[in-house]
Amino acid sequence: MADFKKLRKKMEKELHAKRYEHTLSVAYTAASLAMVHNVDTDSAMTAGLLHDCAKCLPTDKLISLCRKNDLPVSEVELQNPAALLHAKAGSFLARKKYGVTDDDILNAIKYHTTGRPEMSKLEKILYIADYIEPGRKHAANLLQIRKMAYQDLDQTLFKILEDTLSYLLTTGGEIDSMTQETYDYYKRTRS
C-alpha cells in the first residue's frame, strides 16, 4: 500500500495551503468514487494526492521542466501553462520525484484537466473528483453532477466536458485540442 502519510507531508510542503486542502479533498472524493465503482481505492488516493503536484511551480519552471524532459508542449498549452501544463508536468514528477510506477495512475494525473478518449475508470474518477470535491463552489450544475457521479461515470464525465467547454466559450478561454477530442469522442460514443 502506498504510504499516504508520506505523500501527504510532501504535498503539504510543495503546495500552497488552499491547493493542499483541495488536494486532500480530491483524494478522499476519488477514494469514495472508487469504492462505489469498484476501482482500487489506494490508486484513487495516490492519484488524488499527486494530481496537482506541479500546480504551484512558477510558469517558467513549468515550461523549462517540460522542455528539459522532452514533454511535448503545444501552442495552446504554452499560452495557458498554469491551467494545462501542470497535468503533464505533474504526471512526470509523480514518476520521477514521487516514485509512482503504475501507468494507470500516471495517466489519470496526465489527463486530469483535459480528459482523453477511451479513459480508464480511474482516469474518469480523478477527472470527476477534481470537479466535484466539496471545496468546489462555482461550477454550474454541481448538485446534479455530484449525485450523478455516484451513479454513472460516463454520463458525469460528459456533463462536465459539456459544461467546461461552454464555460471556456463564454470566458474566451482557448480550447485545448485534447479537451475538444475528448468531448467529441464521448458525444459520439455515449449511450
Question: Residues in the site for Fe ion, rule: CB under 5 A?
Answer: 52, 130
Judged by beta carbon, residue 38 or residue 108, the one nearer ligand DGI is 108
Contact 6, 36 (CB under 8 A): no
Q: Say whether residue 174 binds ligand DGI (CB under 6 A).
A: yes
C-alpha cell belonging to residue 143: 448538485
Q: Say whether residue 112 binds ligand DGI (CB under 6 A).
A: yes
Q: Say whether residue 182 binds ligand DGI (CB under 6 A).
A: no
DSSP 105-132: HHHHHHTTTT--TT--HHHHHHHHHHHH
Q: Which does 80 bind (CB under 5 to 8 A by kind): Fe ion, ligand DGI, none?
A: ligand DGI
Q: Say whether residue 184 binds ligand DGI (CB under 6 A).
A: no
Distance CA 184, CA 28 (A): 30
Judged by beta carbon, residue 77 or residue 130, the one nearer Fe ion is 130
With both helix axes pointing from N to C terminus, report the angle between 153-171 and 177-189 in degrees, rounded to the nearest 10. 140
Q: Which does 174 bind (CB under 5 to 8 A by kind): ligand DGI, Fe ion, none?
A: ligand DGI
Q: Which residues contact 153 (CB under 8 A, 6 or more apart)?
A: 33, 37, 121, 124, 125, 128
Q: Say whether residue 175 binds ligand DGI (CB under 6 A).
A: yes
Report in angstroms how near the CB of residue 1 gets to ligand DGI at its nearest: 25
Judged by beta carbon, residue 84 or residue 89, the one nearer ligand DGI is 84
Q: Say whether residue 133 binds ligand DGI (CB under 6 A).
A: no
Contact 175, 165 (CB under 8 A): yes
Contact 131, 159 (CB under 8 A): no
Distance CA 136, CA 61 (A): 27
Judged by beta carbon, residue 39 or residue 89, the one nearer Fe ion is 89
Contacting positions for ligand DGI (CB under 6 A): 22, 52, 55, 80, 83-84, 87, 112-114, 130, 164, 168, 173-176, 179
